[in-house]
Amino acid sequence: MLSPTRGDPAIQGVVDAAARKGVTLEVTVFDESTHTAAEAAAAVGAEIGQIVKSLVFVAPREGGAPEPILCLVAGSNRVDVARLAAVTGEREIRRATAREAHELTGFSIGGIPPIGHGRAIRAVMDPDLGRFPVVWAAAGRPTAVFPVTPASLRVLANAVVAPIAEERATEGAAAERNADPASQGAGA
């Protein structure tokens, strides 16, 4: 399960960024993939809600490159773009492409960490992450994660905590939708 992290510059960059803020990260590198939140949850033996998705969104900037906005989201949640726009005061905001996410953070999707991007990136954190004493975030590679308290994560990422997740349907509402053939296949 464990492999040495030393010598991997992507992981080391994340560890160094935390160290500069006085936090020592304990990175675990798995043989199996932690590319998705579900895979990461299985690897560390945590609930999916305890996995931090680091999702890159972009807001256009006139005459220049779009500004990245990093959403730190509980693995069980999805970002509501309208809410994210309201929270950030951006009118147009969209998901970064995989290529943009790499260009803007220096990391590939599946390994994008919440910190250590080589430039300051505005970050917004899902309050649901605060329901757990410890959460797990990607450490620069799609096989590497580290545990962190939500409070420490917020400080490390200099994140604003704000509601950016889609409302989850209650079980009753889900049952009603399922009973309505017209709504079958509607995205959950």
In the region spanning residues 13 to 52, those forming contacts with ligand 5CA, defined by CB under 6 A, are: 34-37, 40, 51-52
User: Given the complex with ligand 5CA, which of 69 and 137 has the nearer CB atom?
Assistant: 137
Q: Is 134 in the site for ligand 5CA (CB under 6 A)?
A: no
CA distance 75 to 44: 13
Cα–chain center distance at 14: 14
CA distance 43 to 48: 11
- Size of the chain, expressed as the number of residues it contains: 188
Binding ligand 5CA (rule: CB under 6 A), the pick from 95, 102, 122, 177 is: 95
In the region spanning residues 141 to 160, those forming contacts with ligand 5CA, defined by CB under 6 A, are: 142, 145
Helix and strand numbers, DSSP H then E, in the chain: 6, 8
In the region spanning residues 96 to 115, those forming contacts with ligand 5CA, defined by CB under 6 A, are: 97-98, 109-110, 112
- Choose one: 10-18, 20-28, 95-103, 149-157; the region binding ligand 5CA (CB under 6 A): 95-103
Q: Is 54 in the site for ligand 5CA (CB under 6 A)?
A: yes
- Number of CB atoms found within 10 A of residue 78's CB: 17
23: tokens are 């936090």
